[in-house]
Amino acid sequence: MITVQKNVTAMVGNHAVAYAVKQAKPQVLSVFPITPQTTMLEKLAEYIDSGELKAELIKVEGEHSALAAVYGAAVAGARVFTATSSQGLLYMTEMMYWVGGERVPMVNAVATRALAEPWTIWDDHEDFFSKRDTSWIMMMAENVQDAYDMTLQAFKISEDKRVILPVMMGFDGFILTHTMERLEILDDETVEKFLPPREFNLIDFNDPVNVGPIAVPDDYMRIKYEAMKAMEGSKEVIEEISREYEKISGRKQYGLVECYECEDADYVFVTAGAWTGDAREAVRRLRNEGKKVGLLKLRVIRPFPKERIREALKGVQGVVTFDREYSYGYGGILANEIKSAIYNSGIDVMSVIAGIGGKDVRPLHFQKVMEDVLEGKKFEERWLND
Protein backbone atom coordinates (compact mmCIF):
# COMPACT_ATOMS: atom_id res chain seq x y z
CA MET A 1 0.00 0.00 0.00
CA ILE A 2 1.36 3.42 -0.99
CA THR A 3 1.15 6.11 1.70
CA VAL A 4 0.67 9.62 0.33
CA GLN A 5 1.41 12.73 2.38
CA LYS A 6 -1.76 14.86 2.23
CA ASN A 7 -1.51 18.65 1.86
CA VAL A 8 -4.89 19.96 2.97
CA THR A 9 -6.08 23.51 2.42
CA ALA A 10 -9.30 25.30 1.43
CA MET A 11 -9.98 27.19 -1.80
CA VAL A 12 -12.83 28.43 -3.94
CA GLY A 13 -13.18 26.59 -7.24
CA ASN A 14 -11.70 29.33 -9.41
CA HIS A 15 -8.56 29.48 -7.26
CA ALA A 16 -8.28 25.67 -7.14
CA VAL A 17 -8.27 25.52 -10.94
CA ALA A 18 -5.76 28.39 -11.11
CA TYR A 19 -3.51 26.56 -8.64
CA ALA A 20 -3.67 23.39 -10.75
CA VAL A 21 -2.83 25.43 -13.86
CA LYS A 22 0.17 26.97 -12.06
CA GLN A 23 1.42 23.48 -11.20
CA ALA A 24 0.89 22.31 -14.81
CA LYS A 25 3.31 25.05 -15.96
CA PRO A 26 1.77 26.21 -19.25
CA GLN A 27 3.95 28.59 -21.25
CA VAL A 28 1.10 30.62 -22.77
CA LEU A 29 -2.28 31.69 -21.40
CA SER A 30 -4.95 33.88 -22.90
CA VAL A 31 -8.14 34.43 -20.93
CA PHE A 32 -10.77 37.15 -21.33
CA PRO A 33 -12.64 38.04 -18.12
CA ILE A 34 -16.28 37.04 -17.75
CA THR A 35 -18.44 36.35 -14.69
CA PRO A 36 -18.11 33.92 -12.93
CA GLN A 37 -14.67 32.97 -14.28
CA THR A 38 -12.93 36.33 -13.72
CA THR A 39 -11.37 35.62 -10.30
CA MET A 40 -9.54 32.67 -11.84
CA LEU A 41 -7.92 34.99 -14.39
CA GLU A 42 -7.02 37.42 -11.60
CA LYS A 43 -5.35 34.65 -9.57
CA LEU A 44 -3.37 33.46 -12.63
CA ALA A 45 -2.22 37.05 -13.26
CA GLU A 46 -1.05 37.23 -9.63
CA TYR A 47 0.95 34.01 -10.05
CA ILE A 48 2.65 35.41 -13.16
CA ASP A 49 3.31 38.80 -11.54
CA SER A 50 4.92 37.14 -8.50
CA GLY A 51 7.06 34.85 -10.66
CA GLU A 52 5.37 31.69 -9.34
CA LEU A 53 4.16 30.92 -12.87
CA LYS A 54 6.58 31.66 -15.70
CA ALA A 55 4.15 32.12 -18.57
CA GLU A 56 3.07 34.67 -21.16
CA LEU A 57 -0.43 36.01 -20.48
CA ILE A 58 -1.70 37.39 -23.79
CA LYS A 59 -4.20 40.22 -23.35
CA VAL A 60 -6.97 40.13 -25.95
CA GLU A 61 -10.19 41.95 -26.75
CA GLY A 62 -12.52 38.94 -26.52
CA GLU A 63 -12.90 35.18 -26.18
CA HIS A 64 -12.58 34.44 -29.91
CA SER A 65 -9.15 36.05 -29.85
CA ALA A 66 -8.24 34.32 -26.58
CA LEU A 67 -8.74 30.91 -28.13
CA ALA A 68 -7.08 31.97 -31.39
CA ALA A 69 -3.99 33.12 -29.45
CA VAL A 70 -3.50 29.89 -27.52
CA TYR A 71 -4.35 27.86 -30.64
CA GLY A 72 -1.36 29.35 -32.44
CA ALA A 73 0.91 28.87 -29.45
CA ALA A 74 -0.17 25.25 -29.00
CA VAL A 75 0.45 24.47 -32.67
CA ALA A 76 3.94 25.91 -32.25
CA GLY A 77 4.62 23.55 -29.34
CA ALA A 78 3.62 25.39 -26.15
CA ARG A 79 1.50 24.02 -23.33
CA VAL A 80 -1.46 26.42 -23.18
CA PHE A 81 -4.57 27.20 -21.14
CA THR A 82 -7.69 29.30 -21.49
CA ALA A 83 -10.98 29.67 -19.62
CA THR A 84 -14.41 31.18 -20.17
CA SER A 85 -18.15 30.97 -19.48
CA SER A 86 -21.58 31.38 -21.09
CA GLN A 87 -21.66 34.06 -23.83
CA GLY A 88 -17.86 33.96 -23.87
CA LEU A 89 -17.96 30.26 -24.76
CA LEU A 90 -20.39 31.09 -27.56
CA TYR A 91 -17.97 33.75 -28.79
CA MET A 92 -15.21 31.09 -28.83
CA THR A 93 -17.30 28.63 -30.83
CA GLU A 94 -15.90 29.26 -34.31
CA MET A 95 -12.35 28.73 -33.03
CA MET A 96 -13.37 25.64 -31.07
CA TYR A 97 -14.08 23.78 -34.31
CA TRP A 98 -10.65 24.80 -35.65
CA VAL A 99 -8.91 23.60 -32.50
CA GLY A 100 -10.92 20.37 -32.27
CA GLY A 101 -10.70 19.65 -36.00
CA GLU A 102 -6.93 20.06 -36.02
CA ARG A 103 -6.62 18.09 -32.78
CA VAL A 104 -4.59 20.72 -30.95
CA PRO A 105 -3.80 19.82 -27.30
CA MET A 106 -4.96 22.39 -24.75
CA VAL A 107 -7.20 22.81 -21.69
CA ASN A 108 -10.20 25.15 -21.43
CA ALA A 109 -11.88 25.55 -18.02
CA VAL A 110 -15.54 26.46 -18.46
CA ALA A 111 -17.39 27.98 -15.52
CA THR A 112 -20.90 26.96 -16.58
CA ARG A 113 -23.54 29.68 -16.78
CA ALA A 114 -26.93 30.08 -18.43
CA LEU A 115 -27.22 31.79 -21.83
CA ALA A 116 -29.10 34.92 -22.81
CA GLU A 117 -31.87 35.84 -23.51
CA PRO A 118 -33.07 36.71 -20.84
CA TRP A 119 -29.81 37.97 -19.40
CA THR A 120 -28.55 36.09 -16.35
CA ILE A 121 -25.31 35.39 -14.54
CA TRP A 122 -26.44 32.21 -12.75
CA ASP A 123 -25.61 28.61 -13.42
CA ASP A 124 -26.93 25.97 -15.77
CA HIS A 125 -25.31 23.65 -18.32
CA GLU A 126 -26.66 24.95 -21.62
CA ASP A 127 -23.38 26.67 -22.56
CA PHE A 128 -21.27 23.58 -21.86
CA PHE A 129 -23.54 21.00 -23.54
CA SER A 130 -23.92 23.18 -26.65
CA LYS A 131 -20.28 22.34 -27.48
CA ARG A 132 -20.65 18.55 -27.42
CA ASP A 133 -19.90 18.11 -31.14
CA THR A 134 -16.79 20.30 -31.46
CA SER A 135 -14.32 17.36 -31.20
CA TRP A 136 -13.26 18.31 -27.65
CA ILE A 137 -13.08 15.88 -24.75
CA MET A 138 -15.52 17.15 -22.09
CA MET A 139 -15.26 16.48 -18.35
CA MET A 140 -17.53 17.79 -15.56
CA ALA A 141 -16.60 18.33 -11.91
CA GLU A 142 -18.81 17.59 -8.91
CA ASN A 143 -16.89 19.70 -6.37
CA VAL A 144 -13.78 21.86 -5.93
CA GLN A 145 -11.58 18.79 -5.42
CA ASP A 146 -12.82 17.35 -8.72
CA ALA A 147 -12.11 20.66 -10.49
CA TYR A 148 -8.50 20.66 -9.25
CA ASP A 149 -7.93 16.96 -10.02
CA MET A 150 -9.59 17.09 -13.44
CA THR A 151 -7.57 20.13 -14.53
CA LEU A 152 -4.28 18.32 -13.92
CA GLN A 153 -5.55 15.15 -15.59
CA ALA A 154 -6.94 17.16 -18.52
CA PHE A 155 -3.46 18.40 -19.50
CA LYS A 156 -2.08 14.86 -19.47
CA ILE A 157 -5.02 13.40 -21.42
CA SER A 158 -4.90 16.18 -24.01
CA GLU A 159 -1.16 15.73 -24.65
CA ASP A 160 -1.15 11.92 -24.65
CA LYS A 161 0.11 10.89 -28.10
CA ARG A 162 -2.64 8.26 -28.36
CA VAL A 163 -5.20 11.09 -28.03
CA ILE A 164 -3.97 14.62 -28.93
CA LEU A 165 -7.32 16.36 -28.52
CA PRO A 166 -8.34 19.52 -26.64
CA VAL A 167 -10.11 19.06 -23.30
CA MET A 168 -12.87 21.17 -21.70
CA MET A 169 -13.30 20.93 -17.94
CA GLY A 170 -16.74 22.19 -16.85
CA PHE A 171 -17.52 23.29 -13.30
CA ASP A 172 -20.69 25.00 -12.12
CA GLY A 173 -20.62 28.79 -12.01
CA PHE A 174 -20.82 30.27 -8.49
CA ILE A 175 -21.81 26.89 -7.00
CA LEU A 176 -18.17 25.77 -7.42
CA THR A 177 -16.30 28.79 -8.77
CA HIS A 178 -17.05 30.90 -5.68
CA THR A 179 -17.59 28.28 -2.98
CA MET A 180 -14.72 27.50 -0.59
CA GLU A 181 -14.26 23.80 0.11
CA ARG A 182 -11.69 21.49 1.65
CA LEU A 183 -9.02 20.73 -0.93
CA GLU A 184 -6.15 18.24 -1.02
CA ILE A 185 -3.35 19.52 -3.27
CA LEU A 186 -0.34 17.66 -4.63
CA ASP A 187 3.17 18.99 -4.08
CA ASP A 188 4.89 20.53 -7.11
CA GLU A 189 7.45 17.70 -7.44
CA THR A 190 4.71 15.06 -7.67
CA VAL A 191 2.84 17.07 -10.29
CA GLU A 192 6.03 17.52 -12.32
CA LYS A 193 6.59 13.75 -12.42
CA PHE A 194 2.94 13.15 -13.35
CA LEU A 195 2.92 15.92 -15.95
CA PRO A 196 6.39 16.46 -17.45
CA PRO A 197 6.91 19.26 -20.01
CA ARG A 198 5.30 18.73 -23.39
CA GLU A 199 8.00 17.38 -25.69
CA PHE A 200 6.43 17.27 -29.13
CA ASN A 201 5.39 19.79 -31.76
CA LEU A 202 2.54 19.54 -34.22
CA ILE A 203 4.71 21.22 -36.85
CA ASP A 204 8.36 20.78 -37.84
CA PHE A 205 10.11 24.17 -38.14
CA ASN A 206 12.71 22.54 -40.40
CA ASP A 207 9.99 21.28 -42.72
CA PRO A 208 7.27 23.98 -42.70
CA VAL A 209 3.70 23.09 -43.68
CA ASN A 210 0.55 25.07 -44.38
CA VAL A 211 -1.82 24.86 -41.38
CA GLY A 212 -5.56 25.03 -42.05
CA PRO A 213 -5.75 24.67 -45.86
CA ILE A 214 -8.91 23.58 -47.67
CA ALA A 215 -9.44 19.79 -47.65
CA VAL A 216 -10.93 17.92 -50.58
CA PRO A 217 -13.90 15.66 -49.66
CA ASP A 218 -11.86 12.43 -49.38
CA ASP A 219 -9.34 14.07 -47.03
CA TYR A 220 -12.05 15.88 -45.04
CA MET A 221 -13.89 12.64 -44.29
CA ARG A 222 -10.66 10.79 -43.49
CA ILE A 223 -9.66 13.52 -41.01
CA LYS A 224 -13.06 13.32 -39.28
CA TYR A 225 -12.82 9.52 -39.15
CA GLU A 226 -9.37 9.73 -37.52
CA ALA A 227 -10.75 12.21 -34.96
CA MET A 228 -13.60 9.80 -34.16
CA LYS A 229 -11.11 6.97 -33.59
CA ALA A 230 -8.96 9.20 -31.37
CA MET A 231 -12.01 10.22 -29.35
CA GLU A 232 -13.13 6.62 -28.86
CA GLY A 233 -9.56 5.58 -28.04
CA SER A 234 -9.32 8.29 -25.41
CA LYS A 235 -11.74 6.36 -23.17
CA GLU A 236 -9.03 3.83 -22.32
CA VAL A 237 -6.43 6.60 -21.85
CA ILE A 238 -8.74 8.61 -19.54
CA GLU A 239 -9.24 5.56 -17.31
CA GLU A 240 -5.50 4.74 -17.37
CA ILE A 241 -4.55 8.30 -16.36
CA SER A 242 -7.25 8.28 -13.70
CA ARG A 243 -5.70 5.13 -12.15
CA GLU A 244 -2.24 6.74 -12.27
CA TYR A 245 -3.58 9.87 -10.56
CA GLU A 246 -5.24 7.75 -7.88
CA LYS A 247 -1.83 6.30 -6.97
CA ILE A 248 -0.08 9.67 -6.64
CA SER A 249 -2.97 11.39 -4.85
CA GLY A 250 -4.06 8.57 -2.56
CA ARG A 251 -7.66 9.41 -3.38
CA LYS A 252 -10.11 7.23 -5.30
CA GLN A 253 -10.56 8.31 -8.91
CA TYR A 254 -13.30 6.97 -11.16
CA GLY A 255 -12.30 7.44 -14.80
CA LEU A 256 -15.34 7.89 -17.04
CA VAL A 257 -18.20 7.30 -14.58
CA GLU A 258 -18.69 6.81 -10.85
CA CYS A 259 -21.29 4.46 -9.38
CA TYR A 260 -22.63 5.10 -5.89
CA GLU A 261 -24.82 2.41 -4.31
CA CYS A 262 -25.62 1.04 -7.78
CA GLU A 263 -24.93 -2.65 -7.07
CA ASP A 264 -28.40 -3.72 -5.88
CA ALA A 265 -30.33 -0.59 -6.87
CA ASP A 266 -33.76 -0.78 -8.50
CA TYR A 267 -33.68 2.89 -9.54
CA VAL A 268 -30.69 5.13 -10.20
CA PHE A 269 -30.20 8.89 -10.56
CA VAL A 270 -27.99 9.95 -13.49
CA THR A 271 -26.26 13.33 -13.11
CA ALA A 272 -23.28 15.42 -14.19
CA GLY A 273 -21.82 18.43 -12.40
CA ALA A 274 -22.16 19.97 -8.94
CA TRP A 275 -25.67 18.78 -8.10
CA THR A 276 -24.31 15.24 -8.05
CA GLY A 277 -23.55 16.01 -4.39
CA ASP A 278 -27.24 16.77 -3.77
CA ALA A 279 -28.25 13.53 -5.47
CA ARG A 280 -25.67 11.63 -3.39
CA GLU A 281 -27.22 13.03 -0.19
CA ALA A 282 -30.71 12.06 -1.39
CA VAL A 283 -29.50 8.49 -2.03
CA ARG A 284 -28.07 8.33 1.53
CA ARG A 285 -31.42 9.43 3.01
CA LEU A 286 -33.42 7.00 0.89
CA ARG A 287 -31.04 4.13 1.65
CA ASN A 288 -31.51 4.85 5.37
CA GLU A 289 -35.22 4.24 4.76
CA GLY A 290 -34.41 0.89 3.14
CA LYS A 291 -35.05 2.02 -0.43
CA LYS A 292 -32.82 0.45 -3.08
CA VAL A 293 -31.64 3.46 -5.04
CA GLY A 294 -28.28 4.54 -6.44
CA LEU A 295 -26.44 7.24 -8.36
CA LEU A 296 -24.50 7.19 -11.63
CA LYS A 297 -22.23 10.24 -12.00
CA LEU A 298 -20.95 11.04 -15.48
CA ARG A 299 -17.42 12.44 -15.14
CA VAL A 300 -16.91 12.50 -18.91
CA ILE A 301 -19.53 13.73 -21.41
CA ARG A 302 -17.42 13.41 -24.56
CA PRO A 303 -16.56 10.81 -25.55
CA PHE A 304 -19.91 9.60 -24.24
CA PRO A 305 -19.09 6.55 -22.06
CA LYS A 306 -21.96 4.38 -23.30
CA GLU A 307 -20.21 1.07 -22.62
CA ARG A 308 -19.61 1.93 -18.96
CA ILE A 309 -23.18 3.24 -18.64
CA ARG A 310 -24.66 -0.02 -19.96
CA GLU A 311 -22.49 -1.97 -17.55
CA ALA A 312 -23.40 0.23 -14.57
CA LEU A 313 -27.15 0.13 -15.22
CA LYS A 314 -27.37 -3.61 -15.85
CA GLY A 315 -30.19 -4.99 -13.71
CA VAL A 316 -31.87 -1.71 -12.70
CA GLN A 317 -35.57 -1.15 -13.39
CA GLY A 318 -35.31 2.53 -14.23
CA VAL A 319 -33.19 5.66 -14.19
CA VAL A 320 -34.04 9.27 -13.38
CA THR A 321 -31.86 11.73 -15.29
CA PHE A 322 -31.45 15.33 -14.13
CA ASP A 323 -30.73 17.87 -16.89
CA ARG A 324 -29.72 21.48 -16.32
CA GLU A 325 -30.19 22.24 -20.01
CA TYR A 326 -32.85 21.52 -22.64
CA SER A 327 -33.11 20.90 -26.36
CA TYR A 328 -36.49 22.16 -27.63
CA GLY A 329 -38.53 19.47 -29.35
CA TYR A 330 -36.06 16.84 -28.15
CA GLY A 331 -35.89 17.10 -24.36
CA GLY A 332 -33.17 16.89 -21.74
CA ILE A 333 -29.89 16.29 -23.56
CA LEU A 334 -28.49 13.91 -20.96
CA ALA A 335 -31.79 12.01 -20.80
CA ASN A 336 -31.79 11.40 -24.53
CA GLU A 337 -28.14 10.39 -24.60
CA ILE A 338 -28.84 7.86 -21.84
CA LYS A 339 -31.87 6.55 -23.79
CA SER A 340 -29.66 6.08 -26.83
CA ALA A 341 -26.90 4.35 -24.82
CA ILE A 342 -29.27 1.79 -23.25
CA TYR A 343 -31.66 1.43 -26.19
CA ASN A 344 -33.66 -1.83 -26.17
CA SER A 345 -32.55 -2.66 -22.60
CA GLY A 346 -36.06 -2.46 -21.13
CA ILE A 347 -34.91 0.15 -18.57
CA ASP A 348 -37.31 3.07 -18.04
CA VAL A 349 -35.69 6.50 -18.49
CA MET A 350 -37.46 9.38 -16.73
CA SER A 351 -36.24 12.91 -17.46
CA VAL A 352 -36.23 15.75 -14.92
CA ILE A 353 -35.47 19.31 -16.08
CA ALA A 354 -34.35 21.52 -13.20
CA GLY A 355 -31.91 24.20 -12.08
CA ILE A 356 -32.28 26.21 -15.31
CA GLY A 357 -30.84 29.72 -14.95
CA GLY A 358 -29.64 28.98 -11.41
CA LYS A 359 -33.01 27.93 -9.94
CA ASP A 360 -32.26 26.30 -6.62
CA VAL A 361 -32.13 22.48 -6.45
CA ARG A 362 -31.53 20.67 -3.18
CA PRO A 363 -31.31 17.07 -1.95
CA LEU A 364 -34.99 17.22 -1.00
CA HIS A 365 -35.91 17.79 -4.66
CA PHE A 366 -34.03 14.63 -5.69
CA GLN A 367 -35.54 12.74 -2.76
CA LYS A 368 -39.13 13.79 -3.56
CA VAL A 369 -38.81 12.83 -7.25
CA MET A 370 -37.46 9.38 -6.38
CA GLU A 371 -40.15 8.82 -3.74
CA ASP A 372 -42.77 9.52 -6.40
CA VAL A 373 -41.14 7.01 -8.76
CA LEU A 374 -41.01 4.36 -6.02
CA GLU A 375 -44.74 4.95 -5.40
CA GLY A 376 -45.41 4.19 -9.07
CA LYS A 377 -45.80 7.80 -10.23
CA LYS A 378 -43.64 7.41 -13.31
CA PHE A 379 -43.28 10.08 -16.00
CA GLU A 380 -41.52 10.72 -19.29
CA GLU A 381 -40.47 14.33 -18.61
CA ARG A 382 -40.99 16.52 -15.56
CA TRP A 383 -39.97 20.16 -14.98
CA LEU A 384 -39.18 21.28 -11.43
CA ASN A 385 -40.26 24.87 -11.92
CA ASP A 386 -42.73 25.49 -9.11
Average pLDDT (44-64) is 97
pLDDT digits (tens, 9 = 90+) for 363-386: 999 999 999 999 999 999 999 987
pLDDT at position 4 is 65
Which of 37, 76, 116 lies closest to 357 in space, CA to CA?
116
What span, in angstroms and rounded, lies between the C-alpha atoms of 316 and 279?
A: 17
What span, in angstroms and rounded, lies between the C-alpha atoms of 108 and 168?
A: 5
210 confidence band (pLDDT: 50, 70, 90): confident
- Would you say residue 2 has pLDDT above 60? no
* Torsion sign over Cα 128, 238, 69, 224: negative
Residue 183, amino acid: L
- Would you say residue 91 has pLDDT above 50? yes
- b/e map of 70-84 (b: 16 or more CB within 10 Å)? bbbbbbeebbbbbbb
Which of 77, 75, 27 lies closest to 210 in space, CA to CA?
75
pLDDT at position 1 is 47
Average pLDDT (12-40) is 97
- Residue 40, C-beta contacts closer than 8 angstroms, at least 6 positions apart: 14, 15, 17, 18, 31, 83, 109, 111, 177
Mean pLDDT, the chain, as a whole number?
96
Kindly state the percentage of the chain with pLDDT values over 90: 94
- Would you say residue 78 has pLDDT above 70? yes
Cβ-in-10-Å burial (0-12, 13-18, 19+) of 51 comes to exposed
- Residue 19, C-beta contacts closer than 8 angstroms, at least 6 positions apart: 11, 43, 148, 185
286 confidence band (pLDDT: 50, 70, 90): very high
pLDDT digits (tens, 9 = 90+) for 296-329: 999 999 999 999 999 999 999 999 999 999 999 9
Lowest mean pLDDT among 7-11, 206-210, 288-292, 357-361: 206-210
In Å, how far are 37, 156, 174, 258, 267 from 31, measured between CA atoms?
Answer: 9, 21, 18, 31, 42
Torsion of CA 279, 110, 17, 71, to 10 degrees: 150
- Would you say residue 186 has pLDDT above 80? yes
pLDDT at position 44 is 98
- Would you say residue 199 has pLDDT above 90? no
Higher pLDDT: 249 or 210? It is 249
Which of 184, 206, 36, 169 lies closest to 113 in space, CA to CA?
36
pLDDT digits (tens, 9 = 90+) for 131-173: 999 999 999 999 999 999 999 999 999 999 999 999 999 999 9
What span, in angstroms and rounded, lies between the C-alpha atoms of 111 and 141?
A: 10
Do 137 and 99 contact (CB within 8 A), yes or no? no
pLDDT at position 3 is 58
Average pLDDT (218-237) is 95
- b/e map of 202-216 (b: 16 or more CB within 10 Å)? eeeeeeeeeeeeeee
Average pLDDT (38-53) is 97
